[in-house]
Amino acid sequence: MRGLVQSTIIIAFSACISFVTTAAADSTPEAVFTGADAFPWNRVERMRNPHPGFTRENFHPENTIQNPQLKKWFGGTATPHSGVYLLHYMTGFDSRVKAGSIPVLLIHGAADNANRAWIHPWEALMPSQLAPDKRGFALQLHDAGYPVFAITFAHGHGDNFMQAAHVAGAIERTGCGRIDVIAHSKGAVTARLYASGGRDLFNDKVFLPAYRGDIRNFIAIASPMRGVDTPFRYYGYNLKVASDGAGLPMAATALLFNGQWRDFTAMTLYFGSAGWFPGQAQMLFNLVRDAGIGLGPDSATADYGATAAALYHGGTTALASSRGIDSAIRDGGSLIYRLEQRGIDPGINLGVIAGNSPFITYPLPGQLVPMPWELYTPAGDGIVFLASSMHTDAILRRGARLLGKHEFNLNHVDIARMPAVMARITSWLAANQR
């Protein structure tokens, strides 16, 4: 797969109002799908925020929307405007909210969508029959009695500020004073950005609403609390992306590739690239210098590490050229560094789920074929190191309450679909109804 809350107020039903009377700029759906047209959900709404700050982002050809169902919900386009997003509601959402239950919002990660992430997480498309042990978190939460809804962003690697604004819009859409949020990977960054009061940190992001105090519990699954550095850490990763033509970001502006020096600037995370991965650039963090995770054997190159050092810190060798991670961090607005200085709102309960299995490569029949770097990589889930996903000092610096931190022997994808993880999450939600 490519792509790879301390509340002291009890929110009663009176805190939730009907959908049509909310006051958000994007409170009226552009289109509503029900019945067979909304399957596997009960209702799907296409929302549009008309603020001129939202743009149409560029898509790598591999990352356009090809799923016919999603394309239909987005109005028939494979490259939706980033002012548009989808809200998906499970059966019983309205009645459960009216009965006083707090809604749960599910936020997917990079290069993903609500269907794959939360309904049928083992398959890219909805199978004809969904096995009981392959049911996603939306179905598991629904079966446990929660009113569940989810969001799908227009761009799988899109700008986190625009997506954070849509998270705020999705919450306001419910008309409820507080909700619970479960977010995976990049989706947790968008939720954290809103929950940290990102509008105060980035005054130029005028389309991003100020935090409204409307998140009760925030469950972050495989979240890059201290960011990621994958494209800069692994020369082999860059070669594989170049070889596969994958819709993934690169650090190398150029590579010696198949015997020729080839330019890959378009694929990178710097200013001057094709702009296909803005959200990825915003999640970068210098884990070597600022988290103490040095370049080890997983980053080894044939020239005694010269290319590894050039890729990470900037420079050119006979094998590759790179502007370095600090350049890309600056170009991405140093988002993670700014969030680390801020912390989320003190009224939020935070639960952290992290994986410690590095093998993200999917098996051939009966056989796991790991990438070489996966054999020696620092502890993590194959995408996010534990030093990042389990780092909570900064996010809690304003006094948010920690529900707990739990590691599972799972990789970055499996951790958002296994029943044991859901059992941990529901135990936190059930125990923290304040």
State in Å, rounded, how far the first CA of the chain is from the last one: 38
Give the Cα-Cα-Cα angle 390, 429, 145 (nearest 5 degrees). 135
SS3 track for 278-307: HHHHHCECCHHHHHCCCCCHHHCCCCCCHH
What's the CA gap between 263 and 168, in Å, rounded?
Answer: 39
Cβ(349)–Cβ(401) below 8 Å: yes
CA distance 205 to 164: 11
| Torsion of the alpha carbons at 115, 120, 123 and 129, rounded to the nearest 10 | -120
Contacts of 101 (CB under 8 A, 6+ apart): 145, 146, 147
| Phi, psi at 72, each rounded to 5° | -60, -45
DSSP for residue 362: P
Residue 172, CB-side half-sphere exposure with 13 Å CA sphere? 22
CA–CA dist 119, 31 (Å, integer): 22
CA nearest 188: which of 107, 85, 281? 107
What DSSP state is assigned to residue 251?
A: S
The two three-digit tokens of residue 60, written as one number: 């790598």
Q: What are the chain's domains? A: 13-227+335-431 (3.40.50.1820), 230-282+285-331 (no CATH)
Q: How many residues does the chain have?
A: 434
* SS3 state of residue 37: helix
Task: Give CA–CA dist 212/209, Å, rounded.
Answer: 8
- Amino acid at position 323, single letter: R
pLDDT tens-place values along the chain, 434 residues long: 433 322 222 222 334 654 433 334 567 999 999 999 999 999 999 999 999 999 999 999 999 999 999 999 999 999 999 999 999 999 999 999 999 999 999 999 999 999 999 999 999 999 999 999 999 999 999 999 999 999 999 999 999 999 999 999 999 999 999 999 999 999 999 999 999 999 999 999 999 999 999 999 999 999 999 999 999 999 999 999 999 999 999 999 999 999 999 999 999 999 999 999 999 999 999 999 999 999 999 999 999 999 999 999 999 999 999 999 999 999 999 999 999 999 999 999 999 999 999 988 765 555 667 877 788 899 999 999 999 999 999 999 999 999 999 999 999 999 999 999 999 999 999 987 76
Question: What confidence score (pLDDT) does residue 368 get?
Answer: 67
Residue 267 burial (CB < 10 Å; 0-12/13-18/19+)? buried
Angle among Cα 84, 273, 247 to the nearest 5 degrees reads 65
- Encoded tokens for 284: 């970068």
Backbone torsion region of residue 102, taken as left when φ is above 0, otherwise alpha when ψ lies between -120 and 50, otherwise beta = beta
Compute CA distances 156 → 196, 247, 291, whole Å. Answer: 22, 10, 27
Contact 156, 278 (CB under 8 A): no
Cα separation, 362 vs 381, in Å, equals 13
Per-residue DSSP letter, 228: B
**Partners of 408 in the β-ladder:** 355
| Contact between 3 and 111 (Cβ < 8 Å) | yes
- What pLDDT does 365 receive? 55
| AA letter at 13 | F
Contact yes or no for 160/189 (Cβ under 8 A) = yes
CA angle 385, 414, 110 (to 5 degrees): 65
CB of 385 within 8 A of CB of 287? yes
C-alpha of 63 from chain center: 15
- Helices (DSSP H) in 152-256: which residue ranges? 160-173, 186-195, 198-201, 230-233, 235-244
Residue 420, amino acid: A
What span, in angstroms and rounded, lies between the C-alpha atoms of 189 and 164?
A: 8
Distance CA 154, CA 163 (A): 9
